[in-house]
Amino acid sequence: MALSKQAILAADDLPTESVHVPAWGGDVMVKGLSVGEMAKAQRKANKGTQLDLMVYVMIYGCVDENGKHLFTEKDVKALLTKNQEPIVEVTNKIFELSGFGLTPEEEKEEAGN
């Protein structure tokens, strides 16, 4: 049976997961981004670098235990002062949860190369 519009729109399809970040001494809760959040991050970082995009992805993807965003756009400058390695770790997980990660088959293929 095909899903209805209401069923699709009501589906909770933005997973959350905890990421251990040794450089920061603990875990960070992240969530997959909606299409709108990803588009907003890309627009905000439009003239910037990939690292600028990662900062906006962190702003929209890092959440607390209640699902509320940890950061706001006011935190961009502060996040740009952080070390790149943990930013990459966190944003890679957000990208994965958002459907931008490698499939298991792609991971095996990449590991073999």
pLDDT for 35-45, tens place per residue? 999 999 999 88
Q: Using CA atoms, how far apart are residues 19 and 62, in angstroms rounded to an integer? A: 10
Structure tokens at 95: 């990208």
Closest among 82, 48, 6, 43 to 62, alpha carbons compared = 82
The pLDDT value given to residue 111 = 57
Mean pLDDT score of the chain, rounded to an integer?
89
Contact between residue 62 and residue 25 where contact means Cβ atoms under 8 Å apart:
no
Contact between residue 59 and residue 73 where contact means Cβ atoms under 8 Å apart:
yes
The CATH class, in words, for 14-99 is alpha beta
Q: Using CA atoms, how far apart are residues 86 and 93, in angstroms rounded to an integer? A: 11
Flag whether pLDDT at 110 surpasses 80. no
pTM, 2 dp: 0.83
Q: Where are the beta strands (DSSP E) in 1-113?
A: 16-21, 26-31, 62-63
Q: Using CA atoms, how far apart are residues 95 and 83, in angstroms rounded to an integer? A: 19
Question: Tokens 């590991």 sit at which residue?
Answer: 111
Confidence of residue 28 (pLDDT cuts 50, 70, 90): very high
pLDDT tens by residue, 37-87: 999 999 988 888 888 999 999 999 999 999 999 999 999 999 999 999 999
Percent of the chain exceeding pLDDT 70 equals 88
